[in-house]
Amino acid sequence: MSSTAKTELITVRDYLRYAVSHFNAAGLSFGHGSDNAWDEAVYLTLHALHLPLDRLEPFLDARLLAHEREQLLDLYNRRCQDRLPAAYLTREAWLGEHRFYVDERVIVPRSFIAELLAEQLTPWIADPWALESALDLCTGSGCLAILTALAFPNAEVDAVDLSQDALSVAERNVADYQLTDRVRLVHSDAFAGLAGKRYDLIISNPPYVDAESVAALPPEYLHEPEMALGSGDDGLDFTRIILAEAKKHLTDDGLLVVEIGHNRDALEAAYPTLPFTWLDTAAGDEYVFMLRAEDLPD
């Protein structure tokens, strides 16, 4: 980046223009909180300047101090040169109005299940207060386990992951939300550590990227834990484990909710007799399925 930028760029507006130009010139890939160079530049700039993330307009023509200009240029430079997702630079990720700590030990949260939990899985769960137990499989940063606990105030939530590193991040987030009495972190390979446990609700945003897509991932995604992305040739290896074992871990009226990315056609072809219900999200109705306990194979 130009050594003259610190002297020639003056205002927030100047720095935003500069960031967008360099992000586009660098050919950055987005998808970890924003999907374009402008939104990413705005987020990184407001975060670095400790300004409200939803209030850009009042600050556009504000002049920046020398140390602020240097800080912004360093942040933009790291984004372009290291191709780090913005969340790893700021150490935070947002799902709706909820903020979570993240670092390279966990995948950057971006689950459609979050918006379904914000609606308490209406209408599939008639009484949110009646739900007493839930499981978040492949919890990562713990974000969905936390959102589950917030959505269902009487539920005890188990948050499971194979990665001890991920559970360390989840522990921090659970503590931040003061939910240590209701969210239990469990080190387990899928259901292996849950013998005899049954839940009213099981949710999972498991690895689901197929091998062809993994091979084509842009650099930003390669900073994320490999085990949190790929799941065999067709992306369904972990989903098969869930479908094979979920019934014995659900109560009689329990629900299973799983996110599977772009694999709807492959999943329905592999399980033609399962009555999948595809839940509506902001991106459409092909990314998250629901099954009732009674519909799952024994």
For residue 3, the model assigns a pLDDT of: 62
Residue ranges per structural domain of the chain: 5-90, 93-295
The 10s digit of each residue's pLDDT in 101-137 is 999 999 999 899 999 999 999 999 999 999 999 999 9
φ, ψ of residue 276 to 5 degrees: the values are -60, 135
List, for the chain, all residue ranges whose pLDDT scores fall below the cut of 50.
Answer: none
For residue 229, the model assigns a pLDDT of: 77
* Rg of the chain in Å (alpha carbons): 21
Q: Hey, what amino acid is at 77?
A: N
Contact 92, 101 (CB under 8 A): yes
pTM flag (> 0.75): yes
The 10s digit of each residue's pLDDT in 30-69 is 988 889 999 999 999 999 999 999 999 999 999 999 999 9
Give the CATH architecture of domain 93-295. Answer: 3-Layer(aba) Sandwich (3.40)
Q: Which helix (H) or strand (E) holds 289?
A: strand 288-292
- What are the start-end ranges of the E strands in 49-122? 93-95, 98-100
Whole-angstrom Cα distance, residue 146 to residue 141? Answer: 9
* Fold (CATH) for 5-90: Helicase, Ruva Protein; domain 3 (1.10.8)
Contact 288, 116 (CB under 8 A): yes
List the structure tokens of 262. 């772009």
